[in-house]
Amino acid sequence: MDEKELLRLEHLHKEFGGNVVLKDFDLSVKKGEVIVIIGPSGCGKSTLLRCINGLEAVQSGKITFEGAPVEKNSKNISQIRQKIGMVFQSYDLFPHKTVLQNIILAPCKVQKRKKEEVEQEALQLLERVGLNDKKDAFPRELSGGQKQRVAIVRALCMHPDILLFDEVTAALDPEMVREVLDTMLELAKQGSTMLIVTHEMSFARAVADRILFLDGGELVEESNSPKDFFDHPKTERAQKFLQTFEYE
């Protein structure tokens, strides 16, 4: 195994009652890499992310994270999940907890870190995303974009080694999308390892080290140059998919 390899997926196979969502899927993610996964709805992108932190079990194949196998019901899955941060499309902040309480819950209760130390870090992270004045607000008092930035901070406060973003801007009003993407771009620049599922093509182009195009649960096209991929997609399926984003 490559020394810098963080995550490896081998021959993943996942189906929901006969409906195949991932077919013999392989992937290797190196530390510091930013990988953007695109593809039509229902192509298995979200399922892929959910399998990586064991929210979904796979029928066959192997997921290895930092040398340890990821299995949905294994004993050490809690340890592994702490190292894999995930941000969801629907934010999923705890509605009865303040912004600060949302962020410190898992670091304090799961990682058993000291409250003062976690709070201090949470406030610093909130400041970085421009939300330190919202620390005592409840989720309902925030806009969608603010909620999603809090969700990102919540994931960051766990000190994850990789971040998974599952269509995090899909539920946002267009004017809120930017602030969330800027936060993610910032993280990418700082060297975070990220796996991003998105429909924001120009963002994908700007942030990605590597583009994966999925269709029907398979990796159809992969490119280490986002520019090449978006300007000259090699496969017909990718060409067709990208055309749906163009207006002429």
| Maximum Cα interatomic distance, the chain, rounded to a whole number of Å | 56
The answer to the question of residue 112 lying near another protein (CB under 8 A) is no
| Residues 77 and 70 sit within 8 Å (Cβ to Cβ) | yes
Distance, in Å, from the CA atom of 6 to the CA atom of 97, rounded to the nearest integer, reads 33
List strand residue ranges (DSSP E) for the chain, in order. 5-16, 19-30, 34-38, 60-65, 68-69, 84-87, 162-166, 194-197, 210-215, 218-223
| Residues 26 and 84 sit within 8 Å (Cβ to Cβ) | no
End-to-end CA distance of the chain: 47
Residue of 206, 215, 208 lying closest to 244 (CA atoms): 215
Distance, in Å, from the CA atom of 94 to the CA atom of 74, rounded to the nearest integer, reads 26
Q: How many residues bind another protein (CB under 8 A)?
A: 31
The answer to the question of residue 86 lying near another protein (CB under 8 A) is yes
DSSP H or E segment with residue 40: none
Distance, in Å, from the CA atom of 248 to the CA atom of 242, rounded to the nearest integer, reads 13
In the shown chain, the binding pattern of residues 137 to 166 toward another protein, with x for contact by CB under 8 A and - for none, equals: -xxx----------x--xx--x--------
In the shown chain, the binding pattern of residues 49 to 68 toward another protein, with x for contact by CB under 8 A and - for none, equals: ----x-x-------------
Shortest distance in whole angstroms from residue 125 CB to another protein: 15
The answer to the question of residue 96 lying near another protein (CB under 8 A) is yes
The answer to the question of residue 128 lying near another protein (CB under 8 A) is no
Among 4, 11, 74, 94, binds another protein (CB under 8 A): 94
Shortest distance in whole angstroms from residue 215 CB to another protein: 26
Shortest distance in whole angstroms from residue 159 CB to another protein: 11
* Closer of 139 and 226 to another protein (Cβ): 139
Among 9, 12, 34, 84, binds another protein (CB under 8 A): 84
* Closer of 105 and 123 to another protein (Cβ): 105
Among 28, 64, 90, 132, binds another protein (CB under 8 A): 90
By CB under 8 A, name the binding residues for another protein: 53, 55, 77-82, 84-86, 88, 90, 92-97, 105-106, 109-111, 138-140, 151, 154-155, 158
